[in-house]
Structure 1
């Protein structure tokens, strides 16, 4: 048995990007075996520590299996009795590239009690985790965090760490449709007429004010998220179509630019390259742009709480209200499921209901 323990090694292989891939190798019954763990070390020391703990757990599990085989005990090929669900969920969270996604998933993973092993997560266990961690939170918070826990379990099943995937249907509450705030066409015209407060600004600050205004209006006619407007480059526009990979979903969208959208794109001079950003004066984070946007909305006289994301809602409701079909709108918005787009039809239906109820009863 001690011989087996000495022959299972946790090793690292340096990759082209400078990171390291972790794998196990061992010599057993005259044969050398190797198993890549799908775990990687990068520049984040805190995350590396979590990854190494998980790798050590997998190493310990492999040693247990070999010892059992040596003793003639039948072992299951798939088992995760020694792997913490919390550590594994943290590792899954670290694999994503978008910082906000990593931050959100990591926060969810940290709420998992450390004593819960991956192999013990069944329907009742997952339900209890969600109830204990987010029971006092909103229905949407329970949905988004619970969905990540389900995703982590699906990944564990794909990687062969658990023998089967439990039935989690109904464990995570459905999301509650939010109040989609958007501008009507008349309100867009009202917003277009507003003059940014640039009297005492320098040229650079004034340019930022005007470009934030134009970027918001551009979003009203393209449906792009702020992150995608921010990174849009001149070279992304080909034959009047903006082609981009969405930051959130990593899906490619192709958006024909209408005359309404084109009028809000800055003038391109001869020194601008294809790799330069179109809206190069807007801040990197939407929350910073929202501060100036709120001032512009206030100056316009519009009595709504408008953020940059409302431009996306505005685009969807405008297209649907003027006759666009649901499937086409879903493709323009880059929704992976048309059910997401159906939320906007409910918003329009509510508006129609209020309209017909304005007629007095006779």
Structure 2
């Protein structure tokens, strides 16, 4: 059996034995080692099991119509949100693409099937006036002051909370042009260089010598507490009607830069995005900017 699989892969032939594998078993194999509570490949299995014929269909039997019907089942019959239905259908797409790479399928039957539409999520970010409001409001509790400093710092340099927690004084570099953060992002392992605004530097500058491996936000590193609750209390106390999480700070920086006229490719470098289309999602336009843009239109006299 294995010799036939190797022969098929070497000559670009279809692995007939693999194509007779049940789709459920194939995805179940893919799910090994993944997070059963969070990974979509694991989470689609119960829905595939419930789907009529979902346990019996072989990988080689999957056609565009079957995949279309499975998507409709997830969206209309399972009580799932659009986002969840999209995620589980995408897990099956992943499996089919892998089957193509393994010469089990000659082509991906889901490729021409339109994905489930999902509503664009609200991506909260802060405007400059709101950052100034927050900066004036104290945040109590054991971690309050540290959370406040770290969040405001992130608003100026677009770091994720994982990068704030891993930020060390060795990542803060001084050169002739000023102070900058130079580090690998925890999520992407991509190196970013972010020049620090004077306000950002003043947030962390305590005029004390530090070892390169010392964390910039030590309490944040040690804490096991869900620090988002601090942010919720802080925003409520300030009276800002927004649902703010740590990622809102990362979104705030590119949005402010965009409003100040910074080009999207420069913003892409600061955020460490691999693709500029990702940066475009982050560069929100405020209502104030929309009003300013409309007000630039010439007036007409209506008689």
**TM superposition score category, shorter chain reference:** 0.7 to 0.9
Match of 2:128 among 185, 188, 201: 185
TM-score (ref. length: structure 2) = 0.76
Structure 2 residue 140 is the aligned partner of structure 1 residue 197: yes
Aligned counterparts, 1:168-247, within 5 A: 168-198=111-141, 205=142, 208-239=143-174, 240-247=179-186
Match of 1:291 in 2: 229
Corresponding residue of 1:315: 253
**Secondary structure of the corresponding residue to residue 39 of structure 2:** helix
Structure 1 stretches of at least 4 aligned residues deviating more than 6 Å after TM superposition:
283-287, 356-359
Distance change (3 Å), C-alpha of 1:34 and 1:233: farther
Provide the aligned length of Structure 1 versus Structure 2.
284
Q: Residue 104 of structure 2: SS of its match in structure 1?
A: coil
What is the alpha-carbon distance in structure 2 between the residues aligned to residue 195 and residue 294 of structure 1?
A: 13
* Structure 1 residues 303 and 349, CA gap change in structure 2 (3 angstroms): closer
Task: State TM-score, norm by structure 1.
Answer: 0.65
- 8 Å Cα contact 2:37-2:43 kept in structure 1: no
SS of 1:112 mapped into structure 2: helix
Partner Cα distance (1:249, 1:231) in 2: 14
**How far apart, CA to CA, are the structure 2 residues paired with 1:180 and 1:296?**
19
2-structure distance, mates of 1:171, 1:277: 47
2:47 to 85, 95, 111: 111
| Rg comparison, structure with higher value | 1
Higher relative contact order (CA 8 A, sep 6+): 2
Describe the SS at the equivalent of 2:246. coil
- What are structure 2's unaligned runs of at least 5 residues? 50-54
> Is the strand fraction higher in 1 or 2?
1
Tell me what 2:52 maps to: none
| Equivalent in 224, 245, 260 of residue 199 of structure 2 | 260
Counterpart contact for 2:67–2:110, Cα < 8 Å: no
Matching residue of 1:348: 285
Q: CA RMSD in A?
A: 3.7
